[in-house]
Amino acid sequence: GENVEQHPSTLSVQEGDSAVIKCTYSDSASNYFPWYKQELGKRPQLIIDIRSNVGEKKDQRIAVTLNKTAKHFSLHITETQPEDSAVYFCAASISARQLTFGSGTQLTVLP
């Protein structure tokens, strides 16, 4: 089955700097790659996703890039703010329903 590895497990950045979180996946048949944000004690919420026919997608300060050849995808957050502090999860899906999640990255934005 699919295996997703996520790095780093923790990331601290100064407010206003950029943050990058990287994930690799094992199954080349995966075609859907969402990113979820989970604040402490709350439910995960989708922040951005990308499909395998697209190399990059942006939504304001958030962007995701996908390299199908290398089987990795990354989340980029620019101009970080304290409210960006949370745990971020990447995921990959073959059938568009059975998501396999990475282990998460705790992002801390320092004021």
Q: Would you count residue 100 as binding other proteins (CB under 8 A)?
A: yes
Residues numbered 78-97 forming contacts with other proteins, rule: CB under 8 A: 89, 91, 93, 96-97
Let me know: does 89 contact 6? Beta carbons within 8 Å: yes
Of the candidate residues 77, 99, 107, 109, the single one contacting other proteins (CB under 8 A): 99
Q: Would you count residue 102 as binding other proteins (CB under 8 A)?
A: yes
Q: Would you count residue 64 as binding other proteins (CB under 8 A)?
A: no
Sign of the alpha-carbon dihedral angle for 96, 97, 101, 107: positive
Three-state SS for 34-47 is: EEEEECCCCCCEEE
Greatest alpha-carbon pair distance for the chain in Å reads 41
Q: How far is CA 28 from CA 2, 33, 68, in A?
A: 9, 12, 8
Q: Would you count residue 104 as binding other proteins (CB under 8 A)?
A: yes
Of the candidate residues 12, 45, 67, 81, the single one contacting other proteins (CB under 8 A): 45
List contacts with other proteins (CB under 8 A). 1, 4, 6, 9, 32, 34, 42-46, 49, 89, 91, 93, 96-104
